Copies of this chain bind each other. A is one copy, B any other.
């Protein structure tokens, strides 16, 4: 399989100060074994974009605990108290974004849009510093596209071409993040010959490398 990458070579594709989107929702759909390797590598000053801050001792929480994260962009950090503490202590910047807006901004980044207009956050501090645009008599916030250097995603099933299927609620942010970064690395639970062409969730053209998880 052409796109197969050995986890030991992950280090060749990361650098200090880079931005990384990590798939998953409360660690469900996060390829923990790849995140663990980022901890081993020790790459630092990261900007992480993820739905949340992981759970204590699980997922991207490990990168946060290890002091590798400079900025976290997420919708919710409540289930990882350490994230809130580091944020309050000024040791980690934390940018909170409504979950639907986070999804749309990443989608805009992948889809070549210059932004989207959302009603979410109107009349709240979310609108501060942003352009408000009225269409059809209603106010919307102009939210800008979000992209990153690297996406780390969990594919349940990947085929030999690099097509990906995400099972059940592991899907969440994975497919949209696949479209919005310069490099996409998928951690695969299993690799099969071919996924039914109707059921592919991330087409292989988005996938640069596949790392097989040792189960």
Interface residues of A (CB under 8 A from B): 104, 108, 111-119, 131, 133, 135-136, 138, 140, 142, 144-145, 165, 167-168, 197-199
Residues of chain B within 8 A (CB-CB) of A112 are 118-119
Residues of chain B within 8 A (CB-CB) of A133 are 114-115, 131, 133, 142
In this complex, the member of A112, A116, A118, A167 whose beta carbon has the largest number of chain B beta carbons within 10 angstroms is A116
Which one of B104, B144, B168 lies within 8 Å of A198 (CB-CB)?
A: B168
- Asked if A116 and B119 sit within 8 Å, CB to CB, the answer is no
State how many copies of this chain the complex holds: 2
Beyond A114-B140, A117-B142, list 16 extra A-B contacts (CB 8 Å): A104-B113, A112-B118, A113-B117, A113-B140, A114-B119, A114-B135, A115-B116, A115-B117, A116-B117, A133-B133, A135-B142, A135-B145, A136-B144, A165-B198, A167-B198, A199-B199
Residues of chain B within 8 A (CB-CB) of A104 are 111, 113
- Chain B nearest CB from A49 CB (Å) reads 17
- Asked if B114 and A114 sit within 8 Å, CB to CB, the answer is no
Q: State the CA gap A118–B115 with chains docked (Å).
A: 8
What 3 pairs between A and B have smallest CB-CB spacing? A114-B140, A114-B117, A114-B135
Q: State the CA gap A138–B131 with chains docked (Å).
A: 16
Residues of chain B within 8 A (CB-CB) of A119 are 112, 114
Q: State the CA gap A136–B147 with chains docked (Å).
A: 13
